[in-house]
Amino acid sequence: MTGWTEADAPDQDGRVFVVTGANSGIGYEVARMLAAKKAQVVMACRSEARGQAARARIQEAVPNASAEVMALDLADLESVRAFAAAFLERYPRLDGLINNAGVMALPRQLTVQSFEMQFGVNHLGHFALTARLWPRLLDDGGGRVVNVSSEVHRGGKIRFDDLMGERRYDRWAAYTQSKLANLLFTHQLQRMATATQRPVSAYGCHPGYAATELQGRSGSAIERLVFTNITNRLLAQSATMGALPSLRAAVDTTLTPGDYVGPAAFFGARGYPKVMEPSRAARDDDVAQRLWAASEELTKETF
């Protein structure tokens, strides 16, 4: 017996979704699946050329696909603001924002605004994007925000005394911090929406261990070699399977706002998407509130 699949997703005709990092991997598969369900998909990509190539592949797979590529660099808040302004001018509704794009286990680098790259792209860029698109998410009965995290969030810790890794930097600790931040953002966003009776709902998800381009760009040279030549081939599920949790979080009306969705088999690495329990740290009200306040201060964005 199989679990929840693309076939279980309801028709999305007339609905609009933004997918960040839609040119490859999980983001591409989510965009393709949504387009196949007749949604209007905005593919928010750092590289417009790669985005257009991905859009062409989607239109080949889904001849009647409605998809548009728009430039978005999450490592630059000015790009986030420009994207949001262009989207708000062009689209009268937003039914789903899938905050998917991310980087993993990089040597210490800085964004344009001098944030540590992993925290800046994976969390702060998406925090700012969601804030800027908030007015549209509130329209037409309310939209969904889906934050793509990882099971490695369970080893994460928010280092408020050194968020940017200036005193001590470990590439994997920075990555797990950013993935925990994704779920704390989800938790606090849903708490805020519920408390203020806003119609927006927030969901977290994780893809399990899916074979994508991310592993080939992550970690040390030896780690990249192991990822691409050994673990991806032996352990990883496909990007298509890895995208199902994001799709389910975006469209499944049986879910409860705030749910965390991901494959549960093989210690969360593989399988069909189910509702899971995130770590206790991902549901810490005090830490979530503190992170929210820090994110507002750093990005100069509010809801």
At 140 the pLDDT is 79
Task: Report the 10 Å Cβ neighbour count for 270.
Answer: 18
Instruction: Give the integer Cα–Cα distance in Å for 208 and 263.
Output: 6
Reported as a single tens digit per residue, the pLDDT across 142-184 is 999 999 999 999 999 999 999 999 999 999 999 999 999 999 9
Residues 6 or more apart in contact with residue 167 via CB below 8 angstroms? none
At 109 the pLDDT is 98
Is 91 exposed, middle or buried (CB count within 10 Å of its CB: 0-12, 13-18, 19+)? middle
Reported as a single tens digit per residue, the pLDDT across 184-240 is 999 999 999 999 999 999 999 999 998 666 544 555 555 445 445 545 545 679 999
217 neighbors 277 (Cβ within 8 angstroms): no
Classify domain 8-208+243-297 by CATH architecture: 3-Layer(aba) Sandwich (3.40)
Known catalytic residues are: 175
Q: SS3 for 117?
A: helix
Q: What is the CA radius of gyration of the chain?
A: 18
Would you mind telling me the total number of residues written for the chain in this entry?
303
**How many angstroms from the chain centroid is the CA of residue 219?**
20
Reported as a single tens digit per residue, the pLDDT across 47-88 is 999 999 999 999 999 999 999 999 999 999 999 999 999 999
H or E, element range at 98: strand 96-99
The full set of domain ranges for the chain reads 8-208+243-297
Task: Report the 10 Å Cβ neighbour count for 92.
Answer: 10
pTM of the model: 0.92
Is 90 exposed, middle or buried (CB count within 10 Å of its CB: 0-12, 13-18, 19+)? exposed
Reported as a single tens digit per residue, the pLDDT across 257-288 is 999 999 988 878 899 999 999 999 999 999 99
Q: Which two tokens stand for residue 95?
A: 């039914």
Distances (CA, A) of 109 to 112, 179, 197: 10, 17, 39
At 107 the pLDDT is 97
